[in-house]
Structure 1
């Protein structure tokens, strides 16, 4: 999938600098794997084995090293508060074992708890997205039940979980965005609804007889399926209440002017302006010969204009 995306964007790689089939990689002091991002053990070891600082300058160096992993340590600012106080001017230097141990202990526990913590955050976030993507008047239990009965969505879930299964071409174009959360299929943060709930959802989005654009906007906020825009537009156009309340006045059809038998029988006259020069153009065209006469006017009132040419 990564190579396909690189080829799609026209990017090339140096094969000698590439590694394939890895379960994890170390990048800029972070370990990236299927479990998420966590600090490199070498960084944690460097902090844990740092010698006891003897002055404020060494404290600053230690904090700089610890800050590299600070984003992974809960309440890091509180833990390091005592150390920061020792770097301030006019502060009496007094080192005890406690501040150093606080930082080192937090880092040692980090490697054990980080994976579970990342998975927990991901699960909470995914369920939050799913709960908030359910349209009004529908329940998450109803969506989950109907999803399990929809053959197309069942096939999509099988494809996501196992990598096997056939996908509709329109679904295949967004395959990289698909996920499954608690029996519900998502495209990004939007639910892919089963077919039996789609018309009901369009009716909800059209509540208040919104126009086509507004109805589509409401749908896009929470749900998606192939052809959603087309179905929404068709539903709004066939809404009887909207048709009755809309203005059905049609413009008069354009009529072709009958060509006269000779010149100077029918003339077309039009006034253009004002232009930036505060002048106007009076244009006269003969329908038969197409002869044109143009006069530049500074006034367009009934008073005589001596400036015309």
Structure 2
């Protein structure tokens, strides 16, 4: 209905509606009620609160001044009895950790309790309570009662990101300064992996910047940013040139943000971020399952009853039924190894996967993966590979599509065998073994800075008289747009660029194309000059310098597979095929274009 992020936010079955004035709030309420009615959804009056200046939402109190902890949950922390088992410690840290962004030195205070969890790694499952633990336990309860209000961000003002790194951790504080005041938005910290601890001081500081921008991306993306650090050598990172390897990848990640300056600030003046890095929140501390958002969603498949079917088949699987019964009867070990941990949510079995947060920064913390019984594995493989939205992807793309959502023991082998035996892939796909050294492509530093365009066809004429495809690729993100055409005149191309591309993503600086008559015509040349776009052309008889040629090689066999069965309606499938490419990992960038 288009209301999300405009006047309301939704988390599962919790809806919050916000407005700038009372009159506008009444109008927003009417729109939300209308949307609920059209979806046949009802509200329970006793759980509704209308026209409030502050309200409870997801364990927080939302006010016009900012966000603070919910007193009811704070009371549950205050009333928490002194832990007697390791599980009690985990529960307490999970509950207080939910509000750790409100406390600058949370990890420092919680260290004696976190240390109890570290003993488990050495095989000691017994609680070794001490005076330090008692002091930590009482201090955490006391500090939570005086937690400060985290201010809501003002997106009209620039953000200040204060970062620091030490030998074992990273810390960051997101703030804003205006009206002669400093406003704290949030705190963050984490420990370093064993490999990251081998980095030099400058590399650790650079990692802190990359990690912090990623962590606070929802706030700072699209806004001006000032970065403060106590490392002078870090100032070169934003404009670094001729770098390779890890630093080159970091520089590319930072180029997506509007960083105005990287400012040197001595350590004594950077105490807030410095203390966080030296007392980071431990990676070994798990949040309570009730507080974790369930990321697993088989959302690309058309069967909306997939969860019910999986639930039924899990009960019928002898091996999985045993695990489910143990979880229901609480017979599982108190602290399972993370590689073997399972979880029941709504009577459906999930695998708790501890992702390597330092290998892929998009997958932070635990993920809940649907456990697929033996009887449904072939069905899942078919959906993840053969469905139009999957586009008969290769082994790695199909594995990524499944392994980020579901789990079974032999998933990697099964995916490789299934893709290798796909008759359609064998018939239509190219051999991608490179025959020569890779070409040097045009350098870009931001999304939609440079686009490549090309025309595919002619194809068999569809019922809607479509014979050609216009393929447009963003060089930075590898995002693609595909449009079916009846004719390929310069006017056709210009109209699609204006109405479907430029109005969505903005004007590019460069357009790269081959020497087709549509692109070298006087009309298209004048069109580009009027909009301030510089044209670039591929070398004669060597169109491979255009990135769209590589996309065409991927798109053409995908289209051929579906056109083989429906030759007169292939144009209706092209957007599904485009979705497949957008949601598949690009081997060059290591990310999906949709990310």
- When normalised by structure 1's length, the TM-score is 0.41
TM-score by length of 2: 0.23
Rg comparison, structure with higher value:
1
